[in-house]
């Protein structure tokens, strides 16, 4: 017989009465852990996407959301490729780089991958030259894409990954994202059958941790031709001059392309920040709710438990238990409850985050062991605080009165 035995036995004897209070706390901890876990990884994923994007302005179809763009949701409408030329021909200043894209789901070697058509830089230059005007003739220097004299030109891989542009891409060439390459089992120099055509894999792109990893990139016009889509695109990624962006670049593009939606990365970041603030407020609200509901139901349970056990407490006192031992019996019980609810809530919350995270937020979620400390800390503090007054009442019971009742 030890304190532990005594407390354990009692818990298991009357576990049904415990269920409500215990579940309230478990549920609260579960929700907090899963919210924290998912927001952490979705924040991280968005930051990584933004970092990898390189572009700072996106031109999308009116009905498309930024989320559609990230997840390459193909239900959204398209915009004509002609918009690119309109931009090129316009007098809008501060457009450093344009990268039109058309993404489609395709089946290759029985795998579902996203095929993304991109336009290499040389075609712009040709078009721009042909049109007698264009963005590449303007002075550069404020965007991302600057050729540093004396440096070897970067490989197609790096420029596509960092700057969203590639100098040249023949109509029968493809670039394969790292994950797509693994799942398809292809490597540089291989041939790949896509939509009935043979393509040369000219490069496998380095891992970026973004959706690009599971994509195949081909020439935009090839993609349009093979899918019979015509001259349309899903998005134009723009590298704009920061000073121009703050100076009304978005409004100018809006005026030029009234049927498209123009968003800046700042907007996306702000949306994300707002989203995160909302989530952290939500988890704070949950924290308050579990403190109130969970704490109240544990306190309520403990009072009932003390009342029900008053004869037992009186007996223990008659047998020589001091009030501190009685206090410890109830506080130890509260500690066990808190530990169980904290650990259980962490486990359930993590499982929930791991299964729901990819579906709700579209990001892979990994367990965060550091959350277990918080989960246990909150839960134990709560059960101890809620049990203190009932435990003290037990410790102060008058043994004679408790034993006299029949």
Ligand X SMILES: Nc1ncnc2c1ncn2[C@@H]1O[C@H](COP(=O)(O)OP(=O)(O)O)[C@@H](O)[C@H]1O
Q: Order the strands of the 191-194 sheet from edge to edge.
A: 191-194, 197-204, 173-176, 215-219, 111-118, 95-108, 235-240, 57-61, 260-264
Closer residue to ligand X in complex, CB, 246/401 = 401
Which one of 97-105, 148-156, 306-314, 376-384 is the stretch in contact with another protein (CB under 8 A)? 306-314
CB 192 within 8 A of CB 113: no
> Smallest gap, in angstroms, from Cβ of residue 404 to ligand X?
6
> Smallest gap, in angstroms, from Cβ of residue 285 to another protein?
39
Closer residue to ligand X in complex, CB, 36/310 = 310
User: Which tokens is 33 given?
Assistant: 């852990």
Closer residue to ligand X in complex, CB, 385/403 = 403
If one asks whether residue 399 binds another protein (CB under 8 A), the answer comes out as yes
> Smallest gap, in angstroms, from Cβ of residue 317 to ligand X?
16
If one asks whether residue 403 binds ligand X (CB under 6 A), the answer comes out as no
> Smallest gap, in angstroms, from Cβ of residue 398 to ligand X?
8
Q: Binding residue for another protein (CB under 8 A) from 316, 334, 380, 394?
A: 316
If one asks whether residue 401 binds ligand X (CB under 6 A), the answer comes out as yes
If one asks whether residue 16 binds another protein (CB under 8 A), the answer comes out as no
273 binds, among another protein, ligand X, none (CB under 5 to 8 A by kind): none
> Smallest gap, in angstroms, from Cβ of residue 392 to ligand X?
21
If one asks whether residue 319 binds another protein (CB under 8 A), the answer comes out as yes
Site string for another protein, 345-384 (x = CB under 8 A): ----------------------------------------
d(CA 214, CA 204): 11
If one asks whether residue 406 binds ligand X (CB under 6 A), the answer comes out as no
Closer residue to ligand X in complex, CB, 6/403 = 403
Closer residue to another protein in complex, CB, 4/109 = 4
Which one of 3-11, 66-74, 261-269, 328-336 is the stretch in contact with another protein (CB under 8 A)? 3-11
319 binds, among another protein, ligand X, none (CB under 5 to 8 A by kind): another protein
> Smallest gap, in angstroms, from Cβ of residue 318 to another protein?
5
Closer residue to ligand X in complex, CB, 101/310 = 310
Q: Binding residue for another protein (CB under 8 A) from 6, 232, 265, 381?
A: 6
If one asks whether residue 322 binds another protein (CB under 8 A), the answer comes out as yes
> Smallest gap, in angstroms, from Cβ of residue 329 to another protein?
11
Query: Which residues does 200 contact at the CB level (< 8 Å), separation at least 6?
Result: 172, 173, 174, 189, 190, 191, 192
Site for ligand X, rule CB under 6 A: 401, 404
Site for another protein, rule CB under 8 A: 1-2, 5-6, 9-10, 12-14, 311-312, 314-325, 398-400, 403-404, 406
């Amino acid at each position: 017989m030890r304190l532990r035995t005594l407390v354990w036995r009692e818990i298991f004897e009357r576990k049904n009465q415990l269920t409500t209070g215990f579940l309230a706390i478990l549920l609260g901890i579960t929700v907090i852990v899963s919210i924290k876990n998912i927001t952490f990884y979705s924040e991280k994923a968005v930051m990584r996407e933004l970092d990898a994007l390189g572009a700072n302005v996106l031109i999308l179809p009116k009905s498309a959301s930024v989320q559609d763009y990230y997840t390459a949701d193909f239900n959204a409408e398209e915009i004509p490729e002609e918009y690119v030329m309109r931009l090129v021909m316009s007098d809008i200043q501060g457009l450093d780089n344009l990268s039109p894209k058309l993404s489609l789901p395709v089946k290759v070697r029985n795998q579902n991958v996203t095929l993304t058509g991109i336009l290499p830089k040389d075609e712009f230059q040709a078009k721009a030259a042909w049109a007698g005007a264009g963005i590449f003739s303007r002075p550069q220097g404020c965007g991302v894409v600057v050729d540093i004299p004396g440096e070897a030109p970067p490989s197609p891989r790096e420029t596509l990954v960092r700057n969203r542009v590639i100098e040249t891409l023949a109509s029968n060439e493809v670039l394969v994202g790292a994950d797509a390459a693994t799942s398809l089992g292809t490597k540089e120099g291989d041939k790949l059958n896509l939509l009935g055509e043979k393509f040369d894999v000219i490069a496998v792109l380095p891992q970026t941790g973004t959706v690009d990893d599971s994509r195949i990139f081909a020439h935009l016009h090839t993609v349009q031709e093979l899918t019979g889509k015509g001259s349309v695109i899903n998005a134009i990624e723009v590298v704009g001059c920061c000073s121009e962006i703050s100076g009304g670049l978005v409004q100018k593009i809006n005026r030029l392309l009234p049927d498209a939606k123009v968003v800046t990365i700042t907007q996306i970041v702000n949306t994300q920040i707002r989203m995160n603030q909302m989530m952290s407020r939500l988890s704070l609200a949950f924290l308050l709710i579990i403190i109130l509901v969970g704490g109240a139901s544990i306190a309520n349970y403990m009072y009932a438990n003390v009342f029900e056990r008053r004869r037992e407490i009186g007996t223990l006192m008659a047998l020589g238990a001091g009030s501190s031992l009685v206090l410890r019996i109830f506080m130890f019980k509260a500690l066990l409850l808190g530990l169980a609810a904290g650990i259980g809530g962490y486990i359930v919350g993590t499982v929930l985050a791991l299964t729901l995270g990819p579906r709700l937020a579209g990001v892979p979620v990994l367990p965060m062991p550091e959350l277990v400390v918080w989960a246990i800390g909150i839960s134990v503090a709560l059960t101890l605080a809620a049990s203190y007054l009932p435990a003290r009442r037990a410790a102060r019971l008058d043994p004679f009165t408790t034993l006299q009742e029949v």
